[in-house]
Structure 1
Amino acid sequence: MHTLADNIQLKAPQLTDAPALFACIAADRDYLVQWLPWVATTRAVADEAAFLRYCQTRIAAHQLWLAVIWVAGQPAGMIDLHEFQDDHAAVGYWLSREHRGQGIMTRCLATVEVIGFHDLGLHEIDLLADPANHASRAVAERRGFQRAGVLREHLPLAQGGYHDAVIYSKLSQEFTD
């Protein structure tokens, strides 16, 4: 567990988190599905529980680092490091509607940078964002990630087709606590 503030914590995923996480997804489905294609297939608590079991397996195999974001004692989103290869990883995240715009994700990303660069010894962390996802892009920019380019038609959409992805990266030598 990582405590970021009195009311914000990052905790290892537990199957008991599934109902609260699913409720966050269901309440914000129309917004989240714009950016995250998996939202369309997360239709029940059982789907979220299956995802958490899958994550626990990948975490145990050192193929994923993932935490549930807790705000005021309740699960409110997730953040992870994935696609580990050659001392690089990608970061992904989502946060429930009522907690966006408060700097929570920026704080969470700062903690994940410490974990990635210090604990896991990464050289680079990448972050992909839809060009229209201004909130996610702002998080990357506030944390000093550098815009590295655009991957054309890279992000799958839930309704089919693809969107471009702005790629941001941060190198270990650019990281400061």
Structure 2
Amino acid sequence: MLSRAFKVLFMWLPLALLPAKTVANSENVWAVWKQEGVHAIMRHATAPGFGDPAHFTLGRCDTQRNLNDTGRQEARALGETIRKQGIALSAVYSSQWCRCLDTAKELRLGKVQELPALNSFFRDRSHSENQTAALKKHIAALGPTEKILYVTHQVNTTALTGVYPASGQIILFKLGQNGEIQVVGTINSD
């Protein structure tokens, strides 16, 4: 019985963490993304498993948890939808983990640039504060007409936005006047 309660909690947790005034998967969400100053952060597409193997090595995909065929298809389909909606990105930045780099490449939305501030801190949460601060600094330095997509991990997305994203979910956000991140919409990969 307790197990079922936890399943229900975790099923609704992502919705509970979303701010009340966001737009999700509607025609309006694309208009929101096109607004000046609105950027996106995406959790990598489906990569079966949890965390990374004990022998994880950065730069060696054979030691990491990777996208499966479903994840690759999700990323390609999402990229096609983004292009059809006319979202013109200035840049695509990714974590250096293979599942994020592969998601970003499969989207086919432009050259993918590695950004260490997007690397997972799942194993060592002591990096959360510094990496999130570095990412906020990166966002604050963007020009007013830039439109960026960041591809990263659940822990990074949650630390930045307060949203617990599903695999392949995009969180739209802008930087508020007080320097805080304001979530303005979500796009699911399905």
Higher strand share: 1
* Alignment TM-score, normalising by the size of structure 1: 0.40
* Alignment TM-score, normalising by the size of structure 2: 0.38
Identify the structure with bigger relative contact order (alpha carbons < 8 Å, sequence gap 6+): 2
